[in-house]
Amino acid sequence: MFYYLLKYVLLGPLLRGVFRPRIEGLEHVPSSGPAIVAGNHLSFSDHFLMPAVLKRRITFLAKAEYFTGPGVRGRLTAFFFRSAGQIPVDRSGKEAGQAAIREGLGVLRKGELLGIYPEGTRSHDGRLYKGKVGVAVMALRAGVPVIPCAMIGTFEAQPPGKVIPNIHPVVIRFGKPLEFSRYAGMESEKAVLRAITDEIMYAILTLSEQEYVDEYAAVVKAEQAAARGEKERRFPRAPLS
């Protein structure tokens, strides 16, 4: 109930009024039945803008850190995310990927829309990164179509670290559903999962027109953070006098 209160009364009208997103290809999202909406991830606001423009409820897999903050603020944040249709997924450890797949399949079995960001994390520089194969596993196991989606302009509207968004034009573009029934029963084949995931990422790339990086975003982030740490170690800033 609170989901629809947010969508139609509280947050949805505010987001549509502030960002005035232009929606393209909404007819590609099925009006009923299970499906995966796979999109690029440029901004914190992506979690709320896409649900605000869809006619159906959509459930996203979100990092568990959003649900485990301390104190009253942490509990309120967790309540807000759950009410907004987010499911917490622990992204650490060997079982993280399997946990996300189990949660996602549970949503699809109920005949609902599942939202997923195949990159696994937000892009830190506005480029599109290599997708993880969990989206392919879920598409094959559930036998559902994948609708590619491109968020355009949300990086400029709310880049990493920006709390209050900028006023910037936003486009949300949905592509034609991708069908993978030809690979039925092959979800344990690594080459098949990679091929499906790359096809999904190419569809997102075509819609978003981003620059593509054939590496995982989390790996690139970690490498850049390590490089910054090494630079600071070798060339520490002089103390202020």
- 10 Å Cβ neighbour count for 241? 3
Contact (Cβ atoms closer than 8 angstroms) between residue 121 and residue 134: no
Instruction: Scan for tokens 């953070």, then name that residue.
Output: 225
Q: Would you give the end-to-end CA distance of the chain in angstroms?
A: 58
pLDDT value of position 84: 66
pLDDT value of position 173: 98
Q: What is the pTM of this model?
A: 0.85
Tokens of 197: 């995931």
Q: In whole angstroms, what is the distance from residue 160 CA to residue 147 CA?
A: 26
In the chain, domain spans: 2-234
pLDDT value of position 3: 62
User: Domain 2-234: which topology?
Assistant: Glycerol-3-phosphate (1)-acyltransferase (3.40.1130)
Tokens of 200: 């999904």
pLDDT value of position 2: 57
pLDDT value of position 241: 46
Residues making up the chain, counted from first to last: 241
Q: Which of 59, 27, 39, 50 is nearest to 203 (CA)?
A: 39
Per-residue pLDDT of the chain (241 residues; tens, 9 = 90+): 656 666 655 666 666 767 788 999 999 999 999 999 999 999 988 888 888 889 899 998 877 776 677 777 667 767 767 666 677 776 665 566 788 899 899 999 999 999 999 998 899 999 999 999 999 999 999 999 999 999 999 999 888 878 777 788 899 999 999 999 999 999 999 999 999 999 999 999 999 999 999 999 989 988 888 887 766 666 666 555 4
pLDDT value of position 164: 77
